[in-house]
Amino acid sequence: MKKFFILLTALCLVANVEADAAKKKAKHVVMIGIDGWAAEAVRKIPASDLPNIHYLMDNGSWTLAKRSVMPSASAINWTSMFNGLPTEMHGFDKWNSLKGTIPSTSDNGNGIPPTIFTILRQQRPNAEIGCVYDWDCIGILADTLALDYNYFIKTYRGKETMIPTEEYTKIATEYIKTKKPDFFTFYYGALDNAGHTYGWYGPEYIECLKGLDRGVGMVIQALKDAGIFEDTIIIMSSDHGGKDKGHGGFTMLELETPFIVFGKKVKKGFEFPEPMMQYDTAATIAYILGLQIPDDWRGRPLKQIFK
């Protein structure tokens, strides 16, 4: 009888693993976050100047009308992207917020709402989760305690570029090839810096975006080198756009950002027409990874973009 129950338990565990795997759209998700990447920049710049970004668009699903939460500033919107909540629920209201001005509607036990990183760690304790970023706020907003790999390096300061895009990207590509993460977020802050320093949509901003496009190509190649490209979904997202040398206002130049999803089971060349909000990002990642979404998240997964 004892052997029977052991066998039954083992079969149940196998069934749960198989059911869990069946819920996933892909085993790996890589999110490339570009701070200050405006939808208008994609409209203005020829596709030939951004070949890797347009490769993902042509072979994936996308919108240029993802709308930022208000105000259209960085920490507020990365928070919404990570934790599925609008401003009035997560309470972060300044560009560099490290905690909410008002208490959030939920708490992961570390002073911030549960993020996509948090729920993946809770629901899959053995998942490999990483984040590479060049703005220190990102690690805190992502929930550093949920990360296996937490790498911060300052790549820029004012007009002086300290670390070239390719060199910075190599940190991310080495992690991909070495660890083959279940979920990895790679954040670029340089474009926002170019917008504030030189102005949105000007020559310097455009050249910076071209450099970031080359970085995207490096990430794609790293996934191939790691042997996980075919079982990966790549997401590209941004927090806000910009106008002149700033953002934070309520114009569509500041509020509209691109959102691209490419990879396993994703429809190709599909510009989805439905409205999308910033907090739909976390819900979509959770859906891809087969995770249970917290009750208070307001984001909705983009189910329509999958085959």
Q: Does residue 129 surpass a pLDDT of 70?
A: yes
Specify the pLDDT at position 168: 96
Which helix (H) or strand (E) covers residue 34, if one does? strand 28-34
Specify the pLDDT at position 12: 43
Q: How far is CA 212 from the centre of its chain?
A: 15
130 domain-assigned? yes
Euclidean distance between CA atoms 201 and 224, whole angstroms: 32
Q: How far is CA 262 from the centre of its chain?
A: 13
Euclidean distance between CA atoms 222 and 166, whole angstroms: 13
22 domain-assigned? yes
Mean pLDDT of the chain: 92
- CB neighbour class for 303 (10 Å; exposed up to 12, middle 13-18, buried from 19): exposed
Which helix (H) or strand (E) covers residue 62, if one does? strand 60-67
- Top pLDDT among 140 and 221 is at 221
Specify the pLDDT at position 284: 98
221 domain-assigned? yes
Q: Does residue 15 surpass a pLDDT of 90?
A: no
Q: For residue 10, what pLDDT band results from cuts at 50, 70 and 90?
A: very low
Give the sign of the dihedral formed by CA 174, CA 284, CA 136, CA 246: positive
DSSP states along 181-245: -SEEEEEE-HHHHHHHHH-TTSHHHHHHHHHHHHHHHHHHHHHHHTT-GGGEEEEEE-S---BTT
Give residue 273's domain range.
16-305
Cα angle 175, 220, 74 (rounded to 5 degrees) comes to: 75
Of 12-16, 145-149, 166-170, 281-285, least confident by mean pLDDT is: 12-16
Q: Does residue 226 surpass a pLDDT of 90?
A: yes
Euclidean distance between CA atoms 193 and 196, whole angstroms: 5
Q: Does residue 158 surpass a pLDDT of 70?
A: no
157 domain-assigned? yes
185 domain-assigned? yes
Of 9-18, 229-238, 253-262, 285-294, least confident by mean pLDDT is: 9-18
For residue 235, report the phi and psi dihedrals to the nearest 5 degrees. Answer: -120, 135
Q: For residue 174, what pLDDT band results from cuts at 50, 70 and 90?
A: very high
Number of separate domains in the chain: 1
Give helix then strand counts, H and E, for the chain: 12, 11
225 domain-assigned? yes
Q: Does residue 303 surpass a pLDDT of 60?
A: yes
Q: Does residue 4 surpass a pLDDT of 50?
A: no
Q: Does residue 94 surpass a pLDDT of 80?
A: yes
Q: Does residue 38 surpass a pLDDT of 50?
A: yes
Of 62-71, 106-115, 177-186, 294-303, least confident by mean pLDDT is: 106-115
Q: For residue 176, what pLDDT band results from cuts at 50, 70 and 90?
A: very high
98 domain-assigned? yes
Average pLDDT score over residue span 268-292: 98
3 domain-assigned? no
Contact 248, 80 (CB under 8 A): no
CATH of the domain at 141: 3.40.720.10
